[in-house]
């Protein structure tokens, strides 16, 4: 099945799908995005992803490209046309196409909307989760508004590339006080030797991950002790377990940090349980 992308009102062959060279997403990274898991052909946590999209758009004063109902239909149609059973759907909204000026374009400039979908292999992902992934640490160098899911991801791109070159899957940003903020494309968690699950509060300094929100619920339901507080890199090195969460990886155990093993150096029971039970709690769109 050939891939199809939605671009500003049209479903186009992926190869031919493009946007104007003066799209503000292209010129200024002036836009926002979401990535939503697709499982058994259904969107996972669509409502929360669209809530967060609304918030990101509001914070940046970008108009919504269409109603939420219409957007939901486009997402499902892109998933359907691409025959995605398991994978993800990506959407991005920019402030539209206009002559290059930093200031906002005329208020009647329509925002641009692009939606794509891609397949993932659940067996491969489970195999990765069984082994766990490596993480490196990098200095936090992003703007303070990382609560907005902005297209402006240059520090994240560089961090991720540094991770790859070090043979790792993810990079954790560490602020000047030694606290881990989050991953380049995921939220960061540890499990202390006392068994408490620790993750940074989402009020500032990180993106409020949708997977994070669900995992907080799962942790409560499974009776784990949960502490929403910042943790340092030093604390992470001494942790019993660590893991990352994102719509694309779900709960992914972390087994090494900057080359040194975390805990026993293999996926721990807490991360494994949270991963296994995640979909019992995540909301599925019919």
List contacts with ligand PDD (CB under 6 A): 35, 182, 185-187, 207, 209-212, 245-248
CB 228, min distance to ligand PDD, A: 15
**Closer of 6 and 172 to ligand PDD (Cβ):** 172
**Closer of 56 and 97 to ligand PDD (Cβ):** 56
CB 246, min distance to ligand PDD, A: 4
CB 133, min distance to ligand PDD, A: 14
CB 57, min distance to ligand PDD, A: 16
Q: Which of 76, 149, 160, 164 is catalytic?
A: 149
Whether 76 sits among the annotated catalytic residues: the reply is no
Considering only CA atoms, which of 239, 231, 286, 233 is closest in space to residue 262? 239
Give CA–CA dist 165/269, Å, rounded.
29
79 CB contacts (<8 Å, ≥6 apart)? 38, 41, 43, 89, 117
CB 211 within 8 A of CB 183: no
Crossing angle of the two packed helices 210-221 and 46-60, in degrees rounded to 10: 140
**Closer of 59 and 104 to ligand PDD (Cβ):** 59
Give CA–CA dist 211/33, Å, rounded.
16
Could you identify the residue written with the tokens 């993750």?
199
**Closer of 4 and 44 to ligand PDD (Cβ):** 44
CA distances from 182 to 18, 232, 233 (A): 32, 11, 11
Query: Residues in the chain, how many?
Result: 286
CB 255, min distance to ligand PDD, A: 20
Q: Residue 239 carries which DSSP code?
A: -
**Closer of 47 and 193 to ligand PDD (Cβ):** 47
- CB atoms near residue 247 (< 10 Å): 23
Give CA–CA dist 50/71, Å, rounded.
9
CB 130 within 8 A of CB 96: no
Catalytic residue ranges: 149
């Amino acid at each position: 099945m050939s891939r199809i992308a939605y671009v500003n009102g049209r479903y186009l062959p992926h190869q031919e799908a493009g946007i104007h060279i003066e799209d503000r997403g292209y010129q200024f990274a002036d836009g926002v995005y979401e990535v939503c898991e697709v499982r058994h052909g259904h969107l996972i946590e669509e409502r929360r992803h669209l809530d967060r999209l609304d918030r990101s758009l509001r914070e940046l004063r970008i108009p919504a490209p269409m109603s939420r109902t219409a957007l939901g239909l486009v997402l499902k149609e892109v998933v359907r046309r691409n025959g995605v059973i398991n994978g993800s759907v990506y959407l991005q909204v920019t402030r539209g196409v206009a002559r290059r000026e930093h200031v906002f374009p005329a208020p009647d400039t329509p925002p641009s909307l692009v939606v794509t979908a891609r397949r993932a292999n659940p067996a491969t992902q489970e195999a990765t989760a069984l082994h766990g992934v490596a993480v490196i640490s990098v200095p936090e160098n992003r703007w303070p508004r990382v609560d907005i899911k902005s297209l402006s991801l240059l520090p994240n791109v560089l961090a991720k590339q540094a991770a790859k070159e070090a043979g790792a899957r993810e990079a954790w940003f560490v602020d000047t006080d030694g606290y881990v903020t989050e991953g380049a494309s995921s939220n960061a968690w540890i499990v202390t030797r006392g068994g408490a699950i620790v993750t940074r509060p989402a009020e500032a300094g990180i993106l409020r991950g949708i997977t994070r929100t669900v995992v907080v619920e799962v942790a409560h339901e499974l009776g784990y002790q949960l502490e929403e507080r910042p943790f340092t890199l030093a604390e992470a090195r001494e942790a019993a377990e660590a893991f990352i969460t994102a719509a694309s990886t779900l709960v992914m155990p972390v087994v090494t940090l900057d080359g040194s093993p975390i805990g026993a150096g293999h996926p721990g029971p807490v991360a494994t349980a949270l991963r296994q039970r995640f979909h019992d709690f995540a909301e599925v769109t019919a």
